[in-house]
């Protein structure tokens, strides 16, 4: 989160910009802070109820699981 925080600190109005970053930088707290949509590594999902990786791998190509709580999508 520190890297992204440093990037947006130079923006006069960060809410007027769109940031794109991969799941290496994404965390629940960051997505919540930025009101962002993105992918996260399974190890960073905290206690969010999401399908375990081994079960997702058994599904067809292109399958995904998602969770939204009104802040993070």
Is residue 64 assigned to a domain? Answer: no
Task: Render pLDDT for 14-57 as a digit per residue (tens, 0 to 9).
Answer: 778 777 777 887 888 888 887 777 777 878 777 778 888 899 99
How many C-alpha atoms does 40 have within 13 Å on its Cβ side? Answer: 26
Is residue 47 assigned to a domain? Answer: yes
Place 73 in a pLDDT band, splitting at 50, 70 and 90: low
Q: Whole-model pTM above 0.75? A: no
Is residue 52 assigned to a domain? Answer: yes
Is residue 71 assigned to a domain? Answer: no
Q: Is the pLDDT of residue 11 over 80?
A: yes
Is residue 43 assigned to a domain? Answer: yes
Q: Is the pLDDT of residue 12 over 80?
A: yes
One DSSP character per residue, 6-57 reads HHHHT-S-GGGS-----TTT--HHHHHHHT------GGGSTT-----HHHHH
DSSP state of 62: T
Is residue 13 assigned to a domain? Answer: yes
Is residue 62 assigned to a domain? Answer: no
For the chain, the domain total comes to 1
User: What is the span of the domain harbouring residue 50?
Assistant: 2-57
Is residue 7 assigned to a domain? Answer: yes
């Amino acid at each position: 989160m520190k890297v992204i925080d440093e990037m947006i600190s130079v923006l006069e109005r960060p809410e007027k910009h769109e940031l794109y970053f991969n799941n290496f930088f994404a965390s629940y707290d960051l997505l919540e802070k930025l009101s962002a949509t993105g992918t996260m590594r399974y190890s960073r999902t905290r206690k969010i109820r999401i399908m375990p990786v081994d079960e997702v791998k058994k599904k067809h190509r292109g399958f995904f699981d998602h969770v939204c709580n009104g802040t993070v999508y």
